[in-house]
Structure 1
Amino acid sequence: MRDIDELRELGDFDMGAPPLDDGTRQRVRARLYAAMDEPAPRVRHRRPALRIALTAGLAAAVAAGVLVGVRDDDGDRAHRTARPPATGAPAMRNVSAQTVLKGAAVYAREHEQTVRPRDDQFIYTREVIRETDQKTGATRTYTDENWRSVDGSRRSWAMEIGKGWWAPPLQKGVRVWPPRDWGTLRKLPTDPERLILSVQSRFGSRATSLDGLTDEDWSQIHLGLAALLKLVPVLPQGLRPAAYEALGMVPGVKVVPDQKDAKGRTGVAVAYDDPTLPQGVAGFGGYLIFDPVTYAFLGFRDVRTSGDGAAVKTYTQLSSLDSWAVVDKVKQRP
């Protein structure tokens, strides 16, 4: 029953768009489940935003219009705080999503440094979440702190909009996307085209080139890249820039100007029009917000709903990584 409750919790999230009808929901769920190359295990604990989504759970999440908590990092050093945006930014320029994402990749490469955490360590992140009730305008700010086991063998502590819980160790032999352990993350390609093919192979057949990829393939590739960027706060050197460049190669990514992040900074966002979903229905991924001058990553903008029927509430959710570090123990702060 707990597994069912988890999926119901995920169903409380959406992207602020009309929900999928039952027929479309079943078709999307069936397509994503059919694409998985192996069954996912049962999940017995509430899924945290920090824990990496299991493939089947992620498929169900997308079919339900799910939106989950997000994090990002430009890998500058073992312990760092987020860089402030450029000050005195000029008016927003009319740029393409490819320009923004290539600029973000350049910025990330220039500012990241190698991180080599030990398997017995934890990656600590502190994230600022600001939610605004779309009906009343009431705003609440949360500070979420997470400690993720580097190799996945130890239980982790996760938080989501102010609520925390213990996440169990990753079961041996279980494949998940995005990978939870540093060793597997380190093996992912840092060439954007090879990364796309690697992601595609996790969700469908193993393609040898980008030629001939269908809309469904690209939808799954975007799903995989978005999950990697949203659900893994710290990545091995070169992987986040590659993911930005790979995202820029997905047909349908677009620029949305004048977006505010959790700290009130105005940026330019990149979103995705998924051709496999009905018009007006948004899929997994949300808005990635970048500084309009430097293209430094600022945070995510999403929409979350809770409740049912007349009691349903819709929130605009902004999130920004405040700091991160590699620590020796869970609950240890840098």
Structure 2
Amino acid sequence: MRDIDDPRALGDLRDLAGYDAGAPPLDEETRRRGRTRLLATITAPGADRPRKPGSRLTSPVRRRPALRIALSGAVAAAVTAGFLVAVQHNGDGGRDRTAKPPVTDLPPMRNVSARTVLDGAAAYAREHEKPVSPRDDQFMYTKEIIKETERKTGRTKTYVAENWRSVDGSKRSWVMELGKGWWAPPLAANESVWPPQDWSRLRKLPTDPEQLILAVHEESFGRQGKNASLDDITDLEWSVIHFSLAGLLKLVPVMPEGLRPAAYEALGMVPGVKAVPNQKDAKGRVGVAITYDDPTLPEGASGYGGYFIFDPVTYAFLGFRDERSSGDGMNMKVYTQLSYLDSWAIVDKVKEYPSAAG
């Protein structure tokens, strides 16, 4: 390896910095992580000592594995130029080779932050959402498809869930889950649920993401002053806010204009949300998923919300991925659920099919 003071080495670095990898530029969060990891490696104890051929650089901080990055002087220049080189460590004499994607038919995934994905999803939703103003005496019909796979056997079963919800909540609704349906009576005068299902309450929710977070905070904890600030929210409160926002997005498939984009943006403001690339939806499409690391839960425990899967280019919403279990002990079965909204419409009566959804 050439010394960094060697003019030929500097020329190599300039050539590498100007190299066009044909990939989209990294977002600022990914750049920041790369620079932080680079700095940690450079400043690690003994980083300036010569290494044996084939040995690896180690970081002084142990974290959950993400990308392992070979940090030679050339790759340092590559990080500065704005792209990362991913390598794998194998048992072939300790040599590093360029990593191959785990599945060769996946489209390339660029590194993006959760905020980037959710802001993109909000922009897509604003551009494509269909304004709707149902009457109080009508019903919101939705048809969802759920593909459920048992982890142990790999056996998959597909369910169709058709729901007719009273727009103002004054009439009984028909709801379904995993092939079973039942009548849901209207709420009593002193009852309320989250997320709200009646259109009048949904319309009252803010369509500004920060104000939506504060409204959810007030709904959950019953306090909000004129000078309320997101900076004052604790980890536990953020966990509850995430639960509420994820529930709003999962359980209310059709919303008043502007609310879903605001909910996406609000979700992106929750500390702990993260983007996970190369996730498949119920139709086999590969997207980027958003999930949540809940700091209030023990390590390894999963919280509510599962994965929201988005198109990696347009950020259109593709569907959900979640888990459920049944039984306990040796008889416990764990299922992976992939679901998406197939169609929706406004109808005049419960159990009435819209002509388009037939």
What TM-score does the superposition give when structure 2 sets the normalisation length? Answer: 0.67
Matched, 1:166 2:187: no
CA distance in 2: counterparts of 1:135 and 1:211, whole angstroms: 44
Match of 1:152 in 2: 169
Picking from 125, 141, 148, the partner of 1:108 is 125
Tell me how many residue pairs correspond in the alignment.
Answer: 247
Q: Which has the greater radius of gyration?
A: 2
CA distance in 1: counterparts of 2:188 and 2:238, whole angstroms: 30
When the two chains are superposed, the root-mean-square deviation of aligned CA atoms in Å is 1.3
3-state SS, counterpart of residue 254 of structure 1: strand
Matched, 1:263 2:280: no
- Unmatched segments (≥5 aa) in structure 2: 1-104
Match of 2:295 in 1: 275
Match of 1:91 in 2: 108
Which structure 1 residue ranges, 4+ long, deviate > 2 Å from structure 2? none
CA shift for structure 1 position 113: 2.2
Does the CA-based 8 Å contact 1:300-1:319 persist in structure 2? yes
Matched, 1:318 2:318: no
User: Which amino acid in 2 is paired with 1:324?
Assistant: W
Picking from 208, 232, 236, the partner of 1:191 is 208
Matched, 1:206 2:203: no
CA distance in 1: counterparts of 2:201 and 2:176, whole angstroms: 24
Match of 1:74 in 2: none
3-state SS, counterpart of residue 119 of structure 2: helix
CA shift for structure 1 position 225: 0.4
Does the CA-based 8 Å contact 1:120-1:150 persist in structure 2? yes
User: Which amino acid in 2 is paired with 1:139?
Assistant: T
CA shift for structure 1 position 256: 1.0
Does the CA-based 8 Å contact 2:106-2:278 persist in structure 1? no
Match of 1:72 in 2: none
Matched, 1:234 2:254: yes
CA distance in 1: counterparts of 2:217 and 2:123, whole angstroms: 24
3-state SS, counterpart of residue 211 of structure 1: helix
Percent sequence identity is: 71
CA distance in 2: counterparts of 1:143 and 1:113, whole angstroms: 24
Does the CA-based 8 Å contact 1:263-1:320 persist in structure 2? no
CA shift for structure 1 position 209: 1.3
1 or 2 for the larger relative contact order (CA 8 Å, sep ≥6)? 1
CA distance in 2: counterparts of 1:202 and 1:280, whole angstroms: 29
Match of 1:254 in 2: 274
CA distance in 2: counterparts of 1:89 and 1:309, whole angstroms: 37
User: Which amino acid in 1 is paired with 2:258?
Assistant: G
What TM-score does the superposition give when structure 1 sets the normalisation length? Answer: 0.72
CA shift for structure 1 position 89: 8.4
CA shift for structure 1 position 216: 1.0
Residue by residue over 1:131-189, the C-alpha shift from the partner in whole angstroms, topping out at 9 and shown as x without a partner, is 11100011111111110110111111111111111111121232221112100100100
3-state SS, counterpart of residue 232 of structure 2: coil
